[in-house]
Amino acid sequence: MTPQLTAEQAWLGDFANQINQVLPADEVSSVLASGFYNVSERALTPVDVRSLGLEGMRGLATIDPEIIIEENNGVIEVHYGERFLKAVVEPLAHDSESWSDAVYEVLEALWPHSHDLAATNAERIYEAVFDAALSNLDIFSRYAGKKEAERHRDRREGFGGVGMALKKIDERFLISHAQVQGPAYKAGVRQGDMVVRVNDEPVIGKSLFEVNALLRGKIQTELSLLIERPDTGVSQTVFIWRELVIPQTVFSTYDDGILSIRLSGFNERTVGTVSQDVQDYALMHGHRFKGIILDLRNNPGGLLKRAVQVADLFVAGGRIISTQGRHPDSFETYEADLIDVAQGRPIVVLLNGKSASASEIVAAALQDRARGVVVGSSSYGKGTVQSVQRLPNDGEVTVTWSRLIAPSGYAFHGLGVRPSVCTSGVKSNSERGPALWEVSGQRLRKDWQTVGIEDRTGRKNLRQSCAPDHQKNRIDMDVARNLILDSSLYQRFRGFTTIATVAQ
């Protein structure tokens, strides 16, 4: 005779079926186990899976505040409000698979009681668990869901698109930039055109995000674009084949013998574009090409290896950067080859308080190898490297796993790169050239290179010797041009032995 289920058992069984439909156990466990394992193995700060699992469970309270998780002598107690629901025995501290299963057990226990939890989806649960699990690490360790992670990958690796940028004006969409030799440009689209339809779908009333989503798609697929030229009022339909589009990060201008290269980031396209621009202008202008201004202000960084390659373009031999962490694979040393594409021409690097990470790698390498003069203010001081792990749900866990060490031995983190010529807080004066107050930088250089990584006060005080300035001041360009045009002045400030402050 088959035993009869009680009403409560049948009720719980219904919920078990529901949770398995919304949150398949195998999928949830594989996503959480992969994330927990990679964070515990690679994080710069030691952390065990147990801590990640417990904090992740407690993160469910961000979905429903009635959820309470308590740990008591190796037992995880699950409560909903004042009601005790279940006791889960703690797995071994480093067993990522068992801890992911334990999180699922907690979800199963809560599902019938928490309307908010049952009304959500897997992605929101991953976000709640990982955000809480990573909360005790640094601010750069984070979780990105599938859609956000796809955007991150697009910026790093490129995407199927048409190579143009839009700006929304009222309810219309202006093409603010068409990448030269990009798919849209080759089809006849130009800056200033207005987008009316994408694939016969009107764009009026849509958001900028929605229109950009229409433009993107698989590589080697076609789209139609109805554009209007405001100056003539003529409308035209163009057909564009999507190609791999890597966002532009290099913007070059040439004036009076000086090549100014602004880098907005570092991606797969950056190195080749910088190298080609320098070589093209050298070929066109020969000895009239006097030097390079490398503008890294407001550059938040990007790919580590691309930053190393940019520095390598100009540094002929020697160390560019090294990394050190807890995981054996985090120890790396990057050396320059013997080729300088600028052929010894003066280089001035511009920094400000928003120059971070990869920007700091380039600036420190050129400064420490006495290959360039750094001008501006102390940089952001993001001296850590993040490891990105793709998860089974196509989301990403990003975890800080090593520190950046400059060629002269100091760690960037919380300190940054200190300019040889400080313009912090100084506004441009067009009536005269900027005056420099020069002093010996030997003591400051020594303090900068030896201050301890845990000495937060000492590092903060050193930064204030040229306080981070978040503005892109015109004075930076004025100083840079003067340094390139005055070879004796440039030679005095190469490296970090003589320093100067621009007079107010």
The pLDDT confidence band at residue 313, using thresholds 50, 70 and 90, is: very high
Name every residue whose Cβ is closer than 8 Å to that of residue 395 and which is 6 or more positions away in sequence: 31, 123, 126, 143, 144, 145, 146, 148, 149
Residues 302 and 439 in one domain: yes
**% of the chain beyond a pLDDT of 90:** 78
Residues 309 and 175 in one domain: no
Instruction: Give the structural domain span for 49.
Output: 7-137
The long-range contacts involving 109-112, CB below 8 angstroms and separated by at least 24 positions, are 109/78, 109/85, 110/60, 110/64, 110/67, 110/78, 110/80, 110/85, 111/15, 111/18, 111/19, 112/11, 112/12, 112/15
Both tokens of 418, joined, read 């200190």
Q: Are 155 and 85 in contact (CB under 8 A)?
A: no
Task: Quote the mean pLDDT of the chain.
Answer: 91
pLDDT tens, residue by residue, 228-263: 998 888 899 999 999 987 888 999 999 999 999 999
Average pLDDT value for residue range 218-225:
90
**Given this model, what pLDDT does residue 10 score?**
46
Beta strands in 306-416 (DSSP E): 318-325, 332-336, 347-351, 373-376, 384-390, 396-405
Cα separations in angstroms, 65 against 68, 106, 188? 8, 15, 55
Both tokens of 204, joined, read 């009026």
For tokens 């992670």, the residue is 149
Residues 272 and 232 in one domain: no
In a domain, 147, yes or no: no
Which residues share a beta bridge with 261?
252, 294
**Given this model, what pLDDT does residue 435 score?**
82
Q: Are 402 and 330 in contact (CB under 8 A)?
A: yes
Give the burial string for 329-342 (b: 16+ CB within 10 Å, else e).
ebeeebebeeebbb
Query: CA nearest 383: which of 36, 144, 39, 44?
Result: 44
Beta strands in 337-482 (DSSP E): 347-351, 373-376, 384-390, 396-405, 421-422, 436-440
Residues 421 and 320 in one domain: yes
Average pLDDT value for residue range 302-325:
95
In a domain, 152, yes or no: no
Residues 436 and 383 in one domain: yes
Sign of the torsion formed by the C-alpha atoms of 268, 270, 271 and 276 = positive
The pLDDT confidence band at residue 11, using thresholds 50, 70 and 90, is: very low
Q: Between 11 and 35, name the one with better pLDDT.
A: 35
In a domain, 394, yes or no: yes
In a domain, 204, yes or no: yes
**Given this model, what pLDDT does residue 4 score?**
56
Give the domain CATH number at 436.
3.90.226.10
In a domain, 146, yes or no: no
**Given this model, what pLDDT does residue 23 score?**
84
Helices 442-450, 456-463: axis angle to 10 degrees equals 150
**Given this model, what pLDDT does residue 158 score?**
72
Residues 365 and 461 in one domain: yes
For tokens 């001041």, the residue is 473
Residues 73 and 187 in one domain: no
Q: How many domains does the chain have?
A: 3
Average pLDDT value for residue range 272-280:
96
Domain boundary among 212, 245, 278: 245
**% of the chain beyond a pLDDT of 70:** 95
Residues 222 and 263 in one domain: no
User: Please, what is the end-to-end C-alpha distance for the chain in angstroms?
Assistant: 95
Domain boundary among 210, 245, 280: 245
Residue 180 has pLDDT above 70, yes or no: yes
Domain boundary among 105, 137, 169: 137
The backbone torsions φ and ψ at residue 86, rounded to the nearest 5 degrees and listed phi first, read -165, 155
C-alpha 176/C-alpha 432 separation (Å) is 36
DSSP state of 428: P
Phi-psi domain of 221 (left: phi exceeds 0; alpha: psi -120 through 50; beta: other): beta
Average pLDDT value for residue range 411-419:
95
Phi-psi domain of 363 (left: phi exceeds 0; alpha: psi -120 through 50; beta: other): alpha
Residue 116 has pLDDT above 70, yes or no: yes
Average pLDDT value for residue range 195-216:
92
In a domain, 441, yes or no: yes
Residues 366 and 459 in one domain: yes
pLDDT tens, residue by residue, 223-232: 999 999 988 8
Residues 304 and 323 in one domain: yes
The pLDDT confidence band at residue 104, using thresholds 50, 70 and 90, is: very high
- Tally the residues of the chain: 504
Query: CA nearest 421: which of 352, 357, 355?
Result: 352
Average pLDDT value for residue range 202-210:
91
**Given this model, what pLDDT does residue 6 score?**
52
Residue 320 has pLDDT above 90, yes or no: yes
**Given this model, what pLDDT does residue 82 score?**
92
Instruction: Please classify residue 238 by burial: count the beta carbons closer than 10 Å to its beta carbon, then call 0-12 exposed, 13-18 middle and 19+ buried.
Output: middle
In a domain, 1, yes or no: no
Residues 260 and 228 in one domain: no
Neighbours of 178 (CB within 10 A): 22
Q: Are 81 and 95 in contact (CB under 8 A)?
A: no
In a domain, 17, yes or no: yes
Residue 2 has pLDDT above 60, yes or no: no
**Given this model, what pLDDT does residue 1 score?**
47
Residues 364 and 493 in one domain: yes
Average pLDDT value for residue range 409-437:
84
Q: Are 60 and 32 in contact (CB under 8 A)?
A: no
